[in-house]
Amino acid sequence: MKAIQREYLQSAIFGFNDALVSTTGVIVGVSTGTNNKQVVILAGVVTILVEALSMGAGQYLSSKSVHQLDKADSFRVPAISGVIMFFAYFIAGLVPLLPIFLFPVEHSRVVAIIGALTGLLLLGYIKGKIVKVSPFKSALEIFIIGGIATIIGVVVGNILAV
């Protein structure tokens, strides 16, 4: 049971973190490169849907492979892990996308970055509480790693602006 809980926690943390980082990177990068709100929304929606499905399927397949290797062939645990990954990515991906709908593109970038970084801090804090390590150190670690990826998105968007 503990191994299953670990697998589910891993799927959730990975999905939330990856969505906050990569979706924010795409949205901020694309919105920095173009001020076309429709293009930014299209890029965000495509990223969220494709990545959520890809991450969920990848989690299912990798989890199933490990279960098969351990001769504990079970459809249920890998399937649940894949679903957790899908929904974690999908939900967290909405954090940087929603500001694009609500604000002008120029202002929505800042709101998306603040929302994503706040989400990363919260994710790290919750993870620290769950795994019984310093929630503040855990929050800072996830915040820094996610922040670097967000900065890269902004820089690339500025360099390749159309």
Average model confidence (pLDDT) for the chain? 91
* Burial of 158 from C-beta contacts in 10 A (0-12 / 13-18 / 19+): exposed
- Number of H helices and number of E strands within the chain? 6, 0
Taking only the tens place, the pLDDT of each residue in 26-82 is: 898 888 888 899 999 999 999 999 999 999 999 999 999 988 888 877 778 999 999
Task: Say what angle helices 105-131 and 2-18 make with each other, to 10 degrees.
Answer: 160
Encoded tokens for 79: 């399937």
Q: How many CB atoms lie within 10 A of CB 129?
A: 13
Q: How many CB atoms lie within 10 A of CB 70?
A: 10
Whose tokens are 């890809």? That residue is: 54
pLDDT of residue 28: 87
Residues 86, 55: contact at Cβ < 8 Å?
Answer: yes
101: helix, coil or strand? helix
- The greatest distance separating any two alpha carbons of the chain, rounded to the nearest whole angstrom, comes to 54
- Higher pLDDT pick, 3 / 119: 119
Say yes or no to pLDDT of 158 above 80.
Answer: no
pTM of the full predicted structure?
Answer: 0.89
Mean pLDDT for 146-155 is 79
Whose tokens are 């820089």? That residue is: 155
- Higher pLDDT pick, 153 / 141: 141
Percent of the chain with pLDDT over 90: 67
Residues 6+ positions from 86 with CB-CB distance below 8 Å: 15, 52, 53, 55, 56, 59
For residue 147, report the phi and psi dihedrals to the nearest 5 degrees.
-65, -40
Encoded tokens for 119: 């989400």
Name the residue ranges covered by the structural domains of the chain.
2-108
Percent of the chain with pLDDT over 70: 98
